[in-house]
């Protein structure tokens, strides 16, 4: 049975632990390594690897420390270059080229963000679980079948964002960046409607904005749409 644990989610840092009972993985290393160690009860030696989606600090802050402890970190070449790290522990991966990692087969795919080499991941376990990890993207150009778990960014809703702009709480420049680089509640709904949810057991909403989201509303609306259990990462 696949288990997902959120260590941190949001603009201040992202890190998730996922295990199929055979090969535990770290998704993102966007908080200090000491906090990751503490969140995993100092059991980091058992991790099979860490997947890093892109080079923004809230996703890669602890990569250099993770590598020093002997953890293999998987990322695109542009991400490694932007972080400024070279090591035999850095494993370069490419969109649409799947690779094996322990009991997992992982397919990276390109996402729509504002840095080069940003990736999402489809993680397929030999147990039969299929988990989608999708964050920091304006939308997803791909469709998926047979998913059992969905981890998807739901950063803001259009109505809350527009209200905050009207009230002077959010700069227009920030609004325009969010529209081009992060998934809204409305986009998430469209994505979920377009995909096969027949085998989905859990939906995790990730990376909610502190001021432009409403976690109770987002959970309620996605649960009503999908009929699946919905979890808010970091809540």
Task: Say if strands 202-206 and 230-232 run parallel, antiparallel, or are unpaired.
Answer: parallel
Longest dimension (CA), the chain: 50
Q: What pLDDT sits at residue 1?
A: 85
Check residue 44 and report its DSSP letter: G
Q: What pLDDT sits at residue 230?
A: 98
pLDDT in tens, the chain (235 residues): 899 999 999 999 999 999 999 999 999 999 999 999 999 999 999 999 999 999 999 999 999 999 999 999 999 999 999 999 999 999 999 999 999 999 999 999 999 999 999 999 999 999 999 999 999 999 999 999 999 999 999 999 999 999 999 999 989 998 999 999 999 999 999 999 999 999 999 999 999 999 999 999 999 999 999 999 999 998 6
- 215 neighbors 232 (Cβ within 8 angstroms): yes
Check residue 184 and report its DSSP letter: B
Torsion of CA 126, 130, 132, 133, to 10 degrees: -30
Neighbours of 125 (CB within 10 A): 22
Q: In what order do the strands lie in the sheet with 49-51?
A: 3-8, 15-19, 25-27, 49-51, 73-75, 90-92
Instruction: Identify the structural domains of the chain with CATH numbers, from first to last.
Output: 3-232 (3.60.15.10)
Structure tokens at 83: 């972080």
Q: What pLDDT sits at residue 235?
A: 67
Q: What pLDDT sits at residue 234?
A: 81
- Strand, coil or helix: what is 137? coil
């Amino acid at each position: 049975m696949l288990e997902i644990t959120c260590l941190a989610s949001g603009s201040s840092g992202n890190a998730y632990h996922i295990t199929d009972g055979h090969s535990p993985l770290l998704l993102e290393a966007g908080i200090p390594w000491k906090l990751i160690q503490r969140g995993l009860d100092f059991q980091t030696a058992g991790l099979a690897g860490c997947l890093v989606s892109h080079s923004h600090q809230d996703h890669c802050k602890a990569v250099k420390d993770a590598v020093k402890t002997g953890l293999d970190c998987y990322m695109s070449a542009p991400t490694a270059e932007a972080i400024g790290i070279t090591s035999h522990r850095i494993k370069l991966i490419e969109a649409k080229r799947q690779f094996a990692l322990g009991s997992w087969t992982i397919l990276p795919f390109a996402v729509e963000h504002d840095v080069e080499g940003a990736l999402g991941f489809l993680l397929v376990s030999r147990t039969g679980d299929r988990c989608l990890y999708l964050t920091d993207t304006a939308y997803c150009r791909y469709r998926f079948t047979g998913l059992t778990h969905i981890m998807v960014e739901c950063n803001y809703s259009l109505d809350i964002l527009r209200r905050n702009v009207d009230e002077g709480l959010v700069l227009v420049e920030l609004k325009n960046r969010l529209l081009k680089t992060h998934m809204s509640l409305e986009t998430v709904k469209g994505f979920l409607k377009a995909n096969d949810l027949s085998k989905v057991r859990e939906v995790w909403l990730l990376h909610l904005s502190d001021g432009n989201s409403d976690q109770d509303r987002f959970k309620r609306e996605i649960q009503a749409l999908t009929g699946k259990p919905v979890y808010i990462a970091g809540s």
